[in-house]
Structure 1
């Protein structure tokens, strides 16, 4: 899946697409999901710097915007970090608020299932290369859904959210050691491992933590 970059001549339209995807995801969920996503959207529309991917706002200001207490702010921001939707770019210090960033790739992956609720035109606009045509549907390998090991469970989720990327980059990985919160994955080549570390490590970490919250580190090694 190609990540939307809200820059350039069509930046305004891309921003609306991202917000529309989030809205559709929220509306398809329960009240807790709706409230959490709408609160994040309020921060984006009010204080987010799209060009720099920075959200700089203190907990007191967030509490005032959301009309809640600061304990609720801490809880919901922790949930958004756990989902991988927001990331800390710079820790806060005395007299200076933390700088947060949005993980747009993770947001679009998590909302993907609900894009169709907006319309087929929306899906085709966001993924023009993925729209199937007659006689051109490529069957992707599926991981063993009965796999009981940690990597097997992670593979199921990775394949479900992005089959093409799974087939190209994740399918050939093997599980190495799992100890002290560190999951080691074995790559067939140095190039493959370097690409994963540079471009897809964040995605791997997020999915691994969703399967096992005890995973703090994902390490890519070469066989």
Structure 2
């Protein structure tokens, strides 16, 4: 569900809630997700045109704001667009600066598992605002190569296997679509190493389902400081 454009008497509350949702989703995700959402929040707070519902900022300006090079900016924007957090309104071609808008519905779906961490009042407001949120499961056969379609069975009795069994019981669609294709490698010093069959699956899990993954794994393995993927 898409809310009304964030202008008017209640706009302040809507904007703060949106930024709160982004921040808690990032803090409960991987280091990559934290960095992506921190950059996005800086861009939104400094340069988002709420009336036009877009930001239109040159790559050089974004690079300066984020203290990175322009190649990193291109990669970051592409990652956020691929995840559905940003929607490209106008492509930046032939010297023209691109324009992007926030995808409120996708941000809500992504951050929904973390709302309760903010407080019951915040969770109630967000649920009332985004009543039609449903778990978004992409049919992988639309996107994946043949070698990416065979799920890996969890090792029964192992901590990883127990974690995946719990995910499969609570989120069967998510498990079949995403987690079943991850392979456990090692867990040492708070660092969880997993193997993903493709960069697409890695990025989608990082951007959308890290809170579910960490919640299940930390019950079996203890605190996870970092999740590293191999392809």
Matches of 1:73 and 1:127, distance apart in 2:
33
Matches of 2:24 and 2:69, distance apart in 1:
27
Greater RCO, CA 8 A, separation 6+: 2
Matches of 1:71 and 1:119, distance apart in 2:
38
Structure 2's unaligned 5+ residue stretches are 143-150, 152-171, 175-202, 206-231
Query: Structure 1 residues 93 and 75, CA, compared in 2 at 3 Å: closer, same or farther?
Result: closer
Matches of 1:47 and 1:94, distance apart in 2:
22
Counterparts of 1:1-223 in structure 2, within 5 Å, are 2-5=1-4, 6-128=6-128, 150=141, 156-157=173-174
Q: Deviations over 1:134-165 (max 9, x none)?
A: xxxxxxxx9xx9xx9849x9x935xxxxxxxx
3-state SS in 1 of match to 2:21 = helix
Matches of 1:129 and 1:8, distance apart in 2:
16
What is the TM-score when the length of structure 1 is the normalising length?
0.57
Give the Å deviation of 1:74.
Answer: 1.1
Over aligned residue pairs, what C-alpha RMSD do you find?
3.4
Give the Å deviation of 1:43.
Answer: 0.6
Query: Structure 1 residues 130 and 88, CA, compared in 2 at 3 Å: closer, same or farther?
Result: closer
3-state SS in 2 of match to 1:87 = strand
Query: Structure 1 residues 106 and 34, CA, compared in 2 at 3 Å: closer, same or farther?
Result: same
Matches of 1:149 and 1:80, distance apart in 2:
19
Query: Structure 1 residues 37 and 129, CA, compared in 2 at 3 Å: closer, same or farther?
Result: closer
Matches of 1:116 and 1:63, distance apart in 2:
34
Give the Å deviation of 1:130.
Answer: 9.0
3-state SS in 1 of match to 2:89 = strand
Query: Structure 1 residues 69 and 120, CA, compared in 2 at 3 Å: closer, same or farther?
Result: same
Give the Å deviation of 1:94.
Answer: 3.1
Give the Å deviation of 1:79.
Answer: 0.5
Task: Tell me the residue number matched to 2:220.
Answer: none
| Contact 1:4–1:14, Cα closer than 8 Å, also in 2 | no
Matches of 1:98 and 1:22, distance apart in 2:
22
